[in-house]
């Protein structure tokens, strides 16, 4: 079983629920060890005191903050805890809000909260059931690893899922990025409608399981080949597609119409293929696209109605 | 103008939007470094060859994937880069989804997308279409030699790009074997909890949540710099056992506001033992008269922006 990253209490009103916090992210990255090139022996990292030039055990290492005058203030773990004793041990729920009011820009890392014991489990169940029926998410704060976290908590599959969030001043203002845009002519109604038609044609339900981490798969394949002693060569850069260089003044309307025509043509042939497949049972050959085939025949059907 | 970290094209259909990418977030952590407790000196991380026991310059270090104990497949930087092939500098939008269908756990990092050279018109078009349809575009792009799944959305006047986690990167709760309650919460407890939820109902206003811990740590650092002693932290309080309903009702009374008759009725029913109120210092918790409660409710702001730090 995974290791708890933090234990403490979840508190709403005067109800206190002892909980443990686990990461909701599984590390699927391919990890490399650092090796010494000439002899392929593993590299060890040692922590060395710069003053004494000798190795320092972890227990002798503290946090330091550099003052403007170059002096250092040393802080032990208990000093840091003393800065916020309650917050270091308690997630205080301060408010309940609508999920969609929280812009994903604020989302940082996902975790799962688990009740510590059977007594806690009852209060935990009470909170998650009450939240599930109200449809709201809880906002709270706590301190973990010398950092205060604003968090949102929502019921998910019988558990409470917690997401750490960025504070308002950690989200940069976007004003400068959009600055020059106001002086540019707004797109015409027709252009926007065409763009929205493309969006509608390409709309699918969000099915995250359908997206594979190709980077991981490629890296695994390379390791396998190398292990067999095969040579890995850098793929040749793809020649730039000369067919559609972006024109200096892009013909937006032309690109929109051409896209729609192509997508609809593709969609039409797909619907035909899909309905043929259905009669044969479940062995529908998936279209050659990498991603989950849109399984919304209703939508496609309405699209195909537009076909002449 | 902030500096862009990537230049490329967002492609949807045959429409190509030249764009620049900017970081949308920044960490405001207090910069703390590792120091040696005894003399306050810096801690250096030295890389040593485990066989020769001597320090190794960075140029002699390679990356190895451990296939079995002490047996590695060594990959050069170029070979690792080969996993992605050449960067195409295109964010290819493959699908559009209802943005409310995306669980927040999928969002990883956030970037602002700004218009690139000659991209203003097509940028405005993409922004308008995303905004009006309330859809997010799902696509892929290669950034720093790694292919990412991304979602793009219109947020106010700009387009935001999020890198996304893959489904198999998210843990399910089943592995955690959570403790199950012996008895399920009662209807009365659920109703009372609902009232408490309603009392704490608010609009999400990110500005109203300030990072007070940062200030507390800075204050402590200043104090310590002057040579003052740091107070030891108090012990972790014991968790109140049982009497969930009592705690709920005491909470309701504490936060004051009663909305509607249902709330008032429910509370009056429980004038009998309000359970063992938890030890936590609760301002107003000792006030028992309904009048006093209502008075605090009238003057107290709906949501306390900050619960006083201890």
Task: Give the model confidence (pLDDT) of A216-232 as tens digits.
Answer: 888 888 888 888 877 66
Contact residues for A197 (Cβ-Cβ < 8 A; gap 6+): A260
For A40, A43, B242, the CA distances from A226, given in Å and listed in that order, are 15, 21, 60
Q: Would you state the pLDDT for residue B248? A: 82
Residues B164 and B143 sit within 8 Å (Cβ to Cβ) = no
- A73 at B interface, C-beta within 8 A: yes
* Mutation for testing the A interface, residue in B43, B203, B238 having most A CBs under 10 Å: B43
- A303 at B interface, C-beta within 8 A: no
Buried/exposed code over B133-172 (b: 16+ C-beta within 10 A; e: otherwise): bebbbbbbbbbeebbbbbbbbbbeebbbbbbbbbbebbbe
Contact B207 A259 (CB under 8 A): no
- A132 at B interface, C-beta within 8 A: no
Q: Would you state the pLDDT for residue A250? A: 63
Contact B217 A146 (CB under 8 A): yes
Instruction: List CB contacts (< 8 A) between B39 and chain A.
Output: 49, 51-52
- Shortest Cα–Cα distance, B273 to chain A (Å): 15
DSSP line for chain A: -PPPSEEEEEEETTEEEEEEEEESB---SPP-EEEETTTTEEEEEEEEETTT-SB--GGGEEEEEE-TTS-EEEE-HHHHHHTSHHHHHEEEEEEEEEGGGS-GGGEEEEEEEEESSHHHHHHHHHHHHHHHHHTEEEEEEEEETTEEEEEEEEEETTEEEEEEE--GGGBPP-HHHHGGGGGSPPPPHHHHHHHHHHHHHTB----GGG---HHHHHHHHHHHHHHTTPPP-PPPPPPP-SS-PPPSS--HHHHHHHHHHHHHHHHHHHHHHHHHHHHT-S-PPPPS-SSPPP--HHHHHHHHHT--
ipTM, 2 decimals?
0.79
- Shortest Cα–Cα distance, B287 to chain A (Å): 15
The Cα B21–Cα B116 span in angstroms is 9
Sheet of A41-49: strand order equals B43-49, A41-49, A33-36, B61-68, B71-75
Q: Which residue of B has its CA nearest to A177?
A: B114
CA A46 to chain centre: 33
- A301 at B interface, C-beta within 8 A: no
Instruction: List CB contacts (< 8 A) between A43 and chain B.
Output: 47-50, 56, 61
Residue ranges with strand state E in chain B: 6-12, 15-23, 33-36, 43-49, 61-68, 71-75, 90-98, 107-115, 135-143, 146-155, 158-164
Please name the residues between 266 and 285 in chain A that touch chain B, using a CB distance below 8 Å. none
The Cα B229–Cα B226 span in angstroms is 9
For A23, B94, B159, the CA distances from B137, given in Å and listed in that order, are 27, 7, 11
Instruction: List CB contacts (< 8 A) between A74 and chain B.
Output: 35, 37, 40
Low-confidence ranges of chain B (pLDDT < 50): 232-239, 241, 257-310
The Cα A181–Cα A204 span in angstroms is 30
pLDDT by 10s per residue, chain A, length 308:
578 999 999 998 888 999 999 999 988 888 889 999 888 889 999 999 888 888 999 999 999 998 888 888 899 888 888 888 888 899 999 999 999 899 999 999 999 999 998 889 999 999 999 999 999 999 999 999 888 999 999 999 889 999 999 999 999 999 989 888 888 888 999 999 999 999 999 999 999 988 888 888 888 888 888 888 776 665 555 554 444 445 545 688 888 888 888 888 876 776 665 444 433 333 333 333 444 444 433 343 333 333 33
Q: Would you state the pLDDT for residue A53? A: 86
Instruction: List CB contacts (< 8 A) between B104 and chain A.
Output: 102, 104, 107, 110, 152, 154, 163
């Amino acid at each position: 079983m995974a290791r708890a990253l933090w234990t403490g209490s979840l508190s709403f009103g005067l109800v206190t629920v002892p909980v443990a916090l686990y990461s909701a992210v599984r590390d699927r990255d391919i990890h490399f060890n650092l090796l010494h090139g000439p002899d392929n022996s593993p590299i060890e990292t040692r922590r060395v005191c710069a003053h004494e030039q000798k190795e320092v055990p972890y227990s002798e290492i503290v946090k330091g903050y550099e003052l403007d005058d170059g002096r250092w203030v040393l802080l032990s773990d208990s000093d840091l805890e003393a800065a916020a004793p309650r917050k270091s041990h308690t997630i205080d729920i301060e408010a309940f809000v609508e999920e969609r009011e929280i812009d994903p820009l604020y989302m940082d890392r996902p975790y799962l909260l688990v009740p510590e014991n059977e007594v806690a489990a009852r209060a935990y169940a009470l909170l998650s059931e009450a939240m599930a029926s109200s449809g709201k998410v809880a906002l709270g704060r706590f301190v973990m690893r010398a950092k205060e976290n604003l968090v949102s908590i929502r019921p998910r599959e019988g558990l409470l899922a917690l997401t750490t969030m960025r504070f308002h001043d950690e989200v940069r203002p976007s004003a400068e990025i959009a600055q020059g845009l106001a002086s540019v002519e707004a797109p015409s109604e027709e252009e926007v409608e065409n763009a929205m038609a493309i969006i509608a044609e390409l709309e699918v339900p969000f099915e995250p399981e359908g997206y594979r981490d190709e980077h991981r798969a490629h890296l695994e394949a390379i390791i396998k080949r190398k292990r067999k002693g095969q040579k890995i060569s850098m793929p040749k850069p793809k020649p730039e597609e000369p067919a559609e260089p972006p024109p200096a003044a892009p013909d937006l309307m032309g690109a929109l119409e051409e896209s729609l025509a192509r997508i609809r043509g593709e969609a039409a042939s797909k619907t035909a293929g899909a309905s043929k497949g259905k009669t044969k049972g479940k062995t529908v050959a998936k279209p050659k696209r990498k991603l989950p085939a849109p399984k919304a025949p209703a939508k496609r059907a309405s699209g195909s109605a537009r076909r002449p | 103008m902030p500096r862009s970290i990537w230049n490329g094209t967002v492609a949807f259909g045959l429409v190509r939007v030249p764009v620049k990418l900017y970081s949308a977030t920044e960490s405001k952590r207090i910069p703390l470094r590792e120091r040696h407790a005894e003399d306050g000196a810096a801690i250096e991380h030295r890389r040593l060859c485990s066989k020769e026991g001597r320090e190794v310059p960075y140029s002699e270090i390679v990356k190895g994937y451990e296939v079995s104990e002490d047996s590695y497949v060594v990959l050069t930087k170029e070979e690792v880069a080969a996993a992605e092939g050449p960067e195409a500098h295109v964010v290819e939008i493959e699908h559009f989804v209802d943005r409310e269908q995306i669980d927040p756990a999928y969002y990883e990092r956030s970037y602002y997308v700004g218009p690139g050279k000659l991209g203003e018109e097509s940028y405005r078009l993409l922004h308008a279409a995303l905004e009006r349809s309330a859809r997010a575009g799902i696509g892929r792009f290669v950034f720093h030699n790694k292919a990412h799944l991304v979602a793009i959305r219109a947020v106010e006047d700009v387009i935001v790009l999020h890198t996304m986690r893959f489904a198999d990167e998210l843990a399910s709760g089943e592995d955690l074997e959570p403790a199950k309650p012996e008895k399920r919460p009662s209807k009365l407890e659920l109703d009372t909890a609902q009232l408490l939820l309603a009392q704490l109902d608010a609009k999400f206003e990110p500005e109203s949540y300030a990072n007070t811990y940062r200030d507390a740590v800075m204050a402590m650092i200043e104090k310590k710099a002057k040579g003052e002693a740091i107070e030891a932290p108090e012990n972790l309080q014991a968790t109140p056992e049982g009497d969930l309903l009592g705690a709920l009702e005491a909470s309701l009374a504490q936060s004051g506001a009663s909305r509607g008759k249902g709330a008032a009725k429910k509370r009056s029913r429980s004038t009998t033992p309000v359970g063992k109120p938890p030890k936590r210092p609760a301002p107003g918790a000792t006030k028992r008269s309904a009048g006093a409660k209502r008075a605090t409710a009238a003057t107290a702001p709906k949501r306390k922006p900050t619960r006083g730090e201890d």
